[in-house]
Each structure stands twice: as structure tokens, then as C-alpha cells.
Structure 1
Amino acid sequence: MVQDWKAKAEAKRQSILDSIPSKWKLDKVPSAQEQRDVTGKYIQQFLDPKEVEITETDAVGIAKQVASGTWTAVAVTEAFCHRASLAHQLVSCLHETFFDAALSDAKALDAYFAEHKKVKGPLHGVPVSLKDQFHVKDVETSMGYVGWIGTFEGKPDDPRKGVYESEMVRELRNLGAVLYCKTSVPHTLMAGETVNNIIKYTYNPKNRNLSCGGSSGGEGALIGLRGSPLGFGTDIGGSIRIPSAFNGLYGIRPSAGRLPYEGMANSMDGQNTVLSVVGPLATTAGSVKLAVQSLLSQNPHLYDPMVVEMPWRQAEEDFIHKQSKSSGLCFGVMKSDGVALAQPPVTRAIDMVVSALEKEGHKVIEWKPTPTHEELSNWIFKSFGFDGGKDLQGAFGLSGEDVAKQVLLPPDAKEFTGTDIAAVNVEQRAAKKKYMDYWNSTAELTGTGRPVDAVISPVAPYAAARPEGYKYYNFTVWVNGLDYTSAVVPVTTADKNKDKYPEGYTPISEADKVVVEDYDAEIYDGAHVSVQLVGRRFHEERMLAAAEYVGSLLGR
């Protein structure tokens, strides 16, 4: 049995490499010790100047260049297929490539443009990568499970195999996007790092001593290497925000029901207390906004019963821009949740954001919510174990494969009763109300006459975790439990000469002690450092505007 799953995983791993055209194969991949950072000039050496120009243009710029007729969809697609191929060889970030199908789609888009003298949609000719939860016709979805290889979600004879597509895939095609690859995930999706028995480990391209994050880690690594201008991940506990932060990207975790999740593969399907949501990651805030706006134009509420009827609200975006120029904005700020303090690079990034905002006349107050985030995490993590781990165990049982150490498995095998689940849901509802009341109460402190506009928070205590080192999730899961909106903003990079704990610092808890002991300024040096801006439920337009504004203050 062991030999069988290992051989199957090896064959799949090799098939991904074999799908890369020989002309794009690297003669040698340096070790992390030989070449820590493979972004920028390092990967550029394998591309021609035109490919560099195309792949280092954001999704907004690509859409404009194609719409003007300056670039063809085919030229753009070929450039990104090449760079994605290089990215995979450097950090192992792909599960599937379908370059021939992408080029065929790009040719059809160019033909459409030539005939109609207009684009098919706002994403016409923009390559879009997808986390390996999306079903795409003629493309496998393994989600990192060896037992899913050659099946439809573990079912070998399911008639949907090879022909079914997720709802968002259909919408992206309608918008003119070119789909060309699917990216790596940790099996189960329940990990802040990306590792499985098929592709092994996906490393951080900016610092290959570190993790790219998870569970949308392949997306983060690929976009970080500019092998994609725009991609989609999912987030049930931080899985969009962690890879965005670790790879210096913008990303958004929208509230559940804003964007279509219909028809995607998932773990623990049917657990509805804390829902997984889908959202974009990209190199610029404008690209993330373009993705959300474009999808909302497709009326997803007509095709996904879980999506609310809420088109793009320009007034909500304008609110942030107007307030930033008039009476000012107010932010809550949190460096510690009372259990752990973010490591020095992250606390410095928060200080940089606060300083930039205060310099512009905005108000920043300390964020001390009730209930505490530790209290929130207690029931949030319970929800992940409602089925006693049966779904995850069943998926692993298909092949008998080993489970990665990083995976968050339920602490015990006890299956919750309906009464147990109801009790957690009651606890959730009460917590949401208390947190709402706290947020409302800040109106007395802001000086604006309204509660804080957003909360500045770490995404993780780490700039980017070391392999097997992502152990603290409380900075992200509170957002999921409350179903708030959160946008990630890249701030700076770790600096071993600046980022040090205060002299004599004493950990405030056992969890904080683990975070402190993990920190090594030399190892983390050069890693991306980001923050998240958290807004209330369905505040996507506001948080995207806030992210763009804060990014502009930081020169990002």
C-alpha cells in the first residue's frame, strides 16, 4: 500500500514537470543556500525583454494593453506560461498546467477582438491562475490528495470527471480571462504552509528558507514570482491572507456569499458554521479590485444560491477616498491579541502603517475587543472538527498516504452531535453580537463621529513561517469566525539589523514563547512583511479602497 501511493505520487509529480515544454526547462535549480531569493532579476534572466515587460505588468495594465490592441492575448499567455513554468521548477507551486488549452482560448479571444473590434469582457486576455479546488474541464483536481488522482473528488466513476467546471470558472471565461494552470495546496487545505505528497513542499520565492504560506500557497508563490498577474484562492482560516502576506501581495478575504463558491472541491463540505470563501490575490490593489468588480458584473447570485444580490457599490469605495481627504479616517491597531505578540518584523510593519496614517492626520486607537480573540478561537476551532475528522480521514484512506505534520487535524475523533453543533452556533451568534457592540462603542474614541473604519492587524506573528513552523492561527481565524472582510497590504521586508525583540522581553504566554523561540533575524532577513486591514461584514469595497490608500502612503 505504501509503495503504491508513493509511486502514484511520484508519477503525478513527474507528469507536472513533463508538461513543461523542454525549451523552458532549467539546467540547474540552485539550493536555497546558493540562491535565497529567486524573484526579480534572478528569474528575469531566463526570459526575453518582452516577456519581462508583459509579466511584470499588473492585471489592470494587461487588460488595457490587450484592449488597445498593443498586445495580443496569445503573446501575453505565452509569456505567463513560460514564467509559470520557471516558477514551478524553482519553488514547486503547480499541480496542473494546461498551456495548450490556454493558448487555444487566447487565439479565440484574439480572433474575437479582430472581428468585433472590442474585448469580450474586462478580463479579456488576462491570464488567471486558480487554486487546485477549482474544477476545469479536461483538467484534474487532486487538491493535494494522492487518492484523488484520476478521480472526481475521490470518486473514480463519477460522470463529472473531466467535464465539470466550477461556477466561477464559467464566469471568468465569460469575462475573457485565460485560464492556464492550477496551483499547489496542502492536502486537506487546513495548514498555513503548502505541503503534500505529490509536489512535496512549496517554498517562498523571496526567501526559500521559508514557507509561501497556505492553503492558497501555490497561488502566493506563483504570483510572487510574477508567473501570474491574478489568481484565486480560498480562505477558511487565513488561506488567502497568509500567502498574500508571505509573498508581498494584495489579497482579499470577502465575506461569505459575496463571490461564487458553487461547484468547487473542498474539505469538510457541509460544515457551515465557519464558511470557506473565495477571493483574489494579485500584485496590485487595482488588480484585486478589477477581479471583484468583474465577477460581480456577472450577477453570481443568479447562479450560486449562497451568493447575495449585491453588485459593486461605488459609493462604498468612494466613502474611503472622500473621508481620507476630508474629516479623516480612524483605525484600530492590534500588535498582540493578548496571547501572542507579532515578531519584530511584523510589529515594525504595523508601526510603519500607523506612522504613515498619523502623518496624514488620521486617528489610530488601540484595539481591545470583547470577546477576546482567544475566546473566539475556542469555538472557531471546534467547528473544524464537527465530523470528528471523518472527511479528512476518508480522503487519506483512499490511498493510505502519510499526513503532513503541518495539517490541522481535529484534536480528537469525537463526532459532534446536532446538539453540540447548535451550542457552538449559539456561541458564535453571541460572540458576533458582542464584537459588533464593541466595534460600535469605538465611535466615542475616534473623533469622527463614527466607529473605526478598519482594524490594522498582523496576518501572522511571522513575516513568513519556517517549514513546520506555522503554529499560531489566531491572528487570522477571528476574521473568519465573525465573517468580516479583510484585505492584505504589503508593507516592507524583514531586516536583520532593525528587527529585534525589545531587550529583556518576556513572553506573555506559552504560545508567545513558541513564537519568540521561532524567531531568527538572519533566517527571516529579506522576507516580505505585510498587514491586514479588517472591516465589517460585506465591506469589500471599503477595504479594497483602504488597502489601495494605505499602500499608496507606503509607496506600494
Structure 2
Amino acid sequence: MVTDWQSRAEAKREAILKSIPEKWRLQKIPSAEEQKDVTGPYIQQFLDEKEVEITETDAVGIAEKVAAGTWSAVSVTEAFCHRASLAHQLVNCLHETFFDAAIASAKELDDYYAQHKKTIGPLHGVPVSLKDQFHVKDVETTMGYVGWIGTFEGIKDDPRKGTYESEMVKELRSLGAVLYCKTSVPHTLMSGETVNNIIGYTWNPKNRYICSGGSSGGEGALIGLKGSPGGFGTDIGGSIRIPAAFNGLFGIRPTSGRLPYEGMANSMDGQNSVLSVVGPLATTARSVKLLTKSILAQTPWLHDPLVVHMPWRDAEEQAVYDIVKSSSSKGQLTFAVMKSDGIVNPQPPVTRAVAMVVEALTSAGHKVIEWKPPSHERLLEIALKTWVYDGGKDVHEAFGLSGEPLSMQIKSAYGEKPIKEFTASEISANNRDKRSFQKEYMDYWNSTAQETGTGKPVDGVICPVAPFPAARPEKYSYYGYSVFVNGLDYTSVVVPVTTSDKTKDQYAEGYKPINDEDKKVYESYDAEIYEGAHVSVQIVGRRYTEEKMLAIAEYVGGLIGK
């Protein structure tokens, strides 16, 4: 199968562009110097008034409008197909489009509605985008690998090619969602920047000097440009939270086993120490909740052996609302704040965003204490070992199918060739270390009950998602703020807070980096380049607290005007 990888990549890249209808193609794509921010008014100029109205409505609003018969599923789908097409031309965020199939699906939904005067499910007529790990009938899955073009996960004659669908794809169809595109990823999925040899680099639409995040970077960029009201990504080291944060979106990294991963393509499949999880990103917190709650209504535990039997729990969500609405002393949530993990300090815009959330919560009467957990350095050592259990064999074999080179971002993690694989005994030892650390962290979390004044441990931990608002190209050097959540398998939500401001966001005069890792992050900061970039935080909860954390995300977002 090893052929000229460059011509195969170019042909695929051209095919993606040619799948965009001629009427939606842009005559000129401005450089970042000419147009740094392509969101808002810039992209709106290529849409008519109705398309702008539709695409700037969130997923909940779309579902309501279609259910009321105000908008047709077809008109909504066409509007998002148009805006997604524009988005891809501006920032390289799509791997696959299947607009004709989407419009046909939308027509079937409209016909059903016309006949029965009701919807088929809570996502009836809502366009949903998918990271390019989901298998969709008659649609290719390359996951950014040139060697996967024209195959099923690199296997040329696999009978599943073109016919197989991932479990969540089936569930989304049953819910009435309209599937219309798959979004870009870094080859291997193991990077906070989205880059591959097929589509190149996926840029941040708010600031095209910086990255859109990864590995669900195409999702982040597309939804950030409102080319999708919501979609699904995956997260093994921050890959939902990073793009959500970098693009000013809400998102959730659920605990493993809450949502169905069955039948999706993946790297290092079978590595079970730190599992990749699937979860939604969207423009509003209530849309993330809608997507999560809808999937759980499909009883995924009957179709994915790794999903726990845990329907959506209204009581867990309502408990948060009851607390914040209470006028008594019980009307208080408690949080901890981790301003730094002690390994790398966040850049000034991120420090300010964390402080803004703390200020908003304390002003609203909630308690915030300082988070002083067990050493994150130890946890990162445990978690990062899992990425190379196989010595990089899986990813190097995938590159070997075409002979394509590894991007710099991936080469820094996996080198030029595979290294020695871990033995079963070494993997067992790492699993024991992980379990021991999880217990130590759990005990520390429990101990915060002595500090909160409520007799209960903190409800969540406020901290950065990454040390920067978004990484500059080839400068994503530290993953500690996101990976610690994966190592503990906690639930985490992302809340957009503000934008970078060069007049406010400067390092203190005479700042001295605390180590070499911190020095890299410090030296990558440029207040001029970051001006206007989205800045977000994550709020981390315990395992299986999705309902609670989504309620907290919506509440905190409301406090800071999001």
C-alpha cells in the first residue's frame, strides 16, 4: 500500500474542497495578517439574514423551533452545511462532508413531522458534527492518516468499509439528529494542535495566529465559527476540553463508561489504563446538556459493554439549582482553586480568567478555598506512561502504511521509530500506582470538608485547561493541566470566561520561570499575538458527576455573562 503519500494526500484534500458546492466557495481566503478573526461579522457577510439567524441559534433553540414547525429540518441543515463549508475554507476544519445525505435525512424528518405532527426525538432536525473517529455509512474515516484513505482503519478489503456505523451514530440518528460532516484531527489524535498531512493545520477562527486545539480541533474550530451548533469529540489527555477552551465553547469530559465509545476508530485501541472518552462541545451549556441527556435516553449500556447503567439523574442536577436558589446558609456551593500545579504556571490571560471565576463565585456568596493536592508530577508520570505502553508501535504502523512523515507535534511524543514495549508486569505495576494515587487524591478531596465550613467536601476544582489561552504552532509543550483529569478519570466541564487583553495580561516585571518547562511556556507568550483570543477555565468534579457539573457550568457561565 505504500505509494506516493503526497499525491494521495493532495487528492484527498482536493476532494474535500470539491465536495463543497461551487456557490459556497470563497474567491479569496485572507491571510491571518489581513484578517486575524474570521468569526462574527466576517463570516456573516457570506450568509443571508435567515442563515445567520439559524446558525447563531444554539442546539436547544433549534430543537424548539423545528419542534414548533417554525423552521424545517431542511432549511436548518442547508444553513449549517453552508456555514460549515465557509468555516473549512477559512481554517481547515473538515475531513469529510456528506451534505446530500444530510439534506435527504432532513427531508425524511420533515415528512415525518408533516404526517405525525410530532418529532421523532429530542434532537429532531438538529445538525450534529462528528470528530473523524466516528464511522458513518458511505463516509470515509481517515483519522488524519494518509494510509487510511480508501480503507477501513487501514485495512483495504475490510467488509465494514462504507457500511459500518459507530454505536453513537446509530443513537444520534434515532434521536433525530442530522449528521452532515466529520471534523479534522491530528494524525494519531495525540496532540493539542490539529495538524496532519491531508488538510494541513487547523487554525483558531478567533485568532488565526494560534491553534484550534486538539485532538478534537476541527470540532472546536467548526463550532467556534458556528458551522455547527454542537458536536462530539473524544478526550484521552484533554482533547475535548482543549478545543472547547481555545474556541470559547462549553464542553464536558465525562467519566469513562458514561457515554458509548463502541465502534469508533482510535489510536492504541486496547490500552485500558487511561481510557479515551467521548463527549459533546457546544456554544452553550444547555446545548451540552441536551446532547448528553439525549444520548443517555438511548440506553447506551445495552449496546456498549463498557457503558455503566446510569440514566440521566435529574436529582443530581436539581440539587445544584436548589442550592443556588436558596436564601439560607445552605445556598452556598464550595470550590477549590488551583492557580498553578507547581510544575508550570499559567500565562497571564489564564491567571486572570481563573481569578474572574473565583471573584464571581465569592461575590455570589459561594466559598472558594485553595487546592493543595498530592503531587501532580507523580500523577503525570503514571498517566503519560500509558501513551507508550506499546512503544509507539500502533502509530508508527499507521504511518508506515503510506510512508508519510510524522508531524513535529507527534514526533516529539513518539520519535522516529518504535521503542521498547512495556511488559505485562510493568503495565500491572503502573496500574497499581494509578489506583494508589487515585485513592490518595480521593482522601485529599474528602479532607476538604474540614475547610469548607459546610461539613462537605468541595463541589469542584477551578483550574486552567492549559497554561495558555491557546498554543502557538509547534509550541504546545505542556499537558499537565488537562492530563491530570484523565489520570484520575474525573468529570470536567469547560466554561468560557473572557478574551486576552494586552493591556491587562502581562507577566510581572522580573518574572523568573520555575523550571525549564515553565520557561518554554513563558517564552511562548506574546501579548500582541494573543490579543482577542478566547480564555476559559475548567471546573473538575468527581467521577460520574456529569449532571452536577453541567448544572455548575451553566450557573457559572451565567454569573460571568456566558
- Which residue does the alignment assign to 2:239? 239
Letter in 2 for 1:402: P
Q: Quick one: distance in 2 between partners of 1:449 and 1:40?
A: 46
- Which residue does the alignment assign to 1:527? 533
- Which residue does the alignment assign to 2:380? 377
Q: Deviations over 1:430-461 (max 9, x none)?
A: 00000000000000000111000000010000
Range with bigger deviation, 266-275 or 312-321: 312-321
Matches within 5 A, 1:49-128: 49-128=49-128
**Local SS of the residue matching 1:114:** helix
Q: Quick one: distance in 2 between partners of 1:388 and 1:260?
A: 27
Q: Quick one: distance in 1 between partners of 2:371 and 2:7?
A: 51
1:337 aligns with 2:351: no
Alpha-carbon contact 1:185-1:216 (below 8 Å) kept = yes
**Local SS of the residue matching 1:406:** helix
Letter in 2 for 1:49: E
Letter in 2 for 1:547: A
Range with bigger deviation, 401-410 or 492-501: 401-410
- Which residue does the alignment assign to 1:200? 200
Matches within 5 A, 1:205-224: 205-224=205-224
- Which residue does the alignment assign to 1:367? 371
Q: Quick one: distance in 2 between partners of 1:105 and 1:119?
A: 13
1:322 aligns with 2:322: yes
Letter in 2 for 1:91: V
**Local SS of the residue matching 2:409:** coil
**Local SS of the residue matching 1:530:** strand
- Which residue does the alignment assign to 2:559? 553
Q: Quick one: distance in 1 between partners of 2:413 and 2:309?
A: 35
Q: Deviations over 1:392-444 (max 9, x none)?
A: 01100000101001125346711001000000000000000000000000000
- Which residue does the alignment assign to 1:447? 453
**Local SS of the residue matching 2:536:** strand
Q: Deviations over 1:241-299 (max 9, x none)?
A: 00000000000000000000000000000000000000000000000000010000000
- Which residue does the alignment assign to 1:514? 520
Alpha-carbon contact 2:36-2:208 (below 8 Å) kept = yes
**1:318 CA drift (Å):** 1.1
**Local SS of the residue matching 1:269:** coil
**Local SS of the residue matching 1:501:** coil
Gaps of 5+ in 1: none
**Local SS of the residue matching 2:222:** helix
Q: Quick one: distance in 1 between partners of 2:22 and 2:557?
A: 39
**Local SS of the residue matching 2:158:** coil
Structure 2 residue corresponding to 1:399, chosen from 390, 402, 406: 402
Q: Quick one: distance in 2 between partners of 1:448 and 1:235?
A: 33
Letter in 2 for 1:358: T
Q: Quick one: distance in 1 between partners of 2:519 and 2:355?
A: 22
- Which residue does the alignment assign to 2:350? 346
Alpha-carbon contact 2:221-2:243 (below 8 Å) kept = yes
**Local SS of the residue matching 1:150:** coil
**1:3 CA drift (Å):** 7.3
Letter in 1 for 2:518: D
Alpha-carbon contact 2:3-2:403 (below 8 Å) kept = no
- Which residue does the alignment assign to 1:475? 481
Q: Quick one: distance in 1 between partners of 2:104 and 2:414?
A: 44
Q: Quick one: distance in 2 between partners of 1:448 and 1:42?
A: 49
Alpha-carbon contact 2:202-2:218 (below 8 Å) kept = yes
Alpha-carbon contact 1:312-1:541 (below 8 Å) kept = yes
- Which residue does the alignment assign to 1:136? 136
Q: Deviations over 1:475-526 (max 9, x none)?
A: 0001001100000000000001100111222111111111111100000000
- Which residue does the alignment assign to 1:26? 26
**1:534 CA drift (Å):** 0.2
Q: Quick one: distance in 1 between partners of 2:451 and 2:409?
A: 41
- Which residue does the alignment assign to 2:305? 305
Alpha-carbon contact 1:339-1:512 (below 8 Å) kept = yes
Letter in 2 for 1:130: L
**Local SS of the residue matching 1:374:** helix
- Which residue does the alignment assign to 1:189? 189
Structure 2 residue corresponding to 1:425, chosen from 420, 423, 431: 431
Q: Quick one: distance in 2 between partners of 1:3 and 1:521?
A: 44
Q: Quick one: distance in 2 between partners of 1:440 and 1:514?
A: 35
1:386 aligns with 2:392: no
**Local SS of the residue matching 1:486:** strand
**1:321 CA drift (Å):** 1.4
Alpha-carbon contact 1:268-1:391 (below 8 Å) kept = yes
Q: Quick one: distance in 2 between partners of 1:137 and 1:378?
A: 40
Range with bigger deviation, 443-452 or 319-328: 319-328
Q: Quick one: distance in 2 between partners of 1:338 and 1:409?
A: 22
**1:369 CA drift (Å):** 0.3
Letter in 1 for 2:400: G
Q: Share of identical aligned residues, percent? A: 72
Letter in 1 for 2:341: D
Aligned residues: 555
Q: Quick one: distance in 2 between partners of 1:414 and 1:524?
A: 40
Structure 1 residue corresponding to 2:470, chosen from 464, 467, 484: 464
**Local SS of the residue matching 2:280:** strand
Q: Quick one: distance in 2 between partners of 1:190 and 1:369?
A: 26
**Local SS of the residue matching 2:129:** strand
Q: Quick one: distance in 2 between partners of 1:245 and 1:406?
A: 20
Alpha-carbon contact 1:384-1:410 (below 8 Å) kept = no
- Which residue does the alignment assign to 1:225? 225
Q: Following superposition, which runs of at least 4 residues in structure 1 exceed 3 angstroms of deviation?
A: none
Alpha-carbon contact 1:251-1:280 (below 8 Å) kept = yes
Q: Quick one: distance in 2 between partners of 1:262 and 1:209?
A: 36
Alpha-carbon contact 2:3-2:402 (below 8 Å) kept = no
Q: Quick one: distance in 2 between partners of 1:474 and 1:13?
A: 33
Alpha-carbon contact 2:2-2:401 (below 8 Å) kept = no
Q: Quick one: distance in 1 between partners of 2:511 and 2:335?
A: 27
**1:2 CA drift (Å):** 8.8
Q: Quick one: distance in 1 between partners of 2:3 and 2:527?
A: 40
**1:16 CA drift (Å):** 0.2
**Local SS of the residue matching 2:81:** helix
- Which residue does the alignment assign to 2:362? 358
**Local SS of the residue matching 2:234:** strand
RMSD between aligned alpha carbons?
0.9
Gaps of 5+ in 2: none
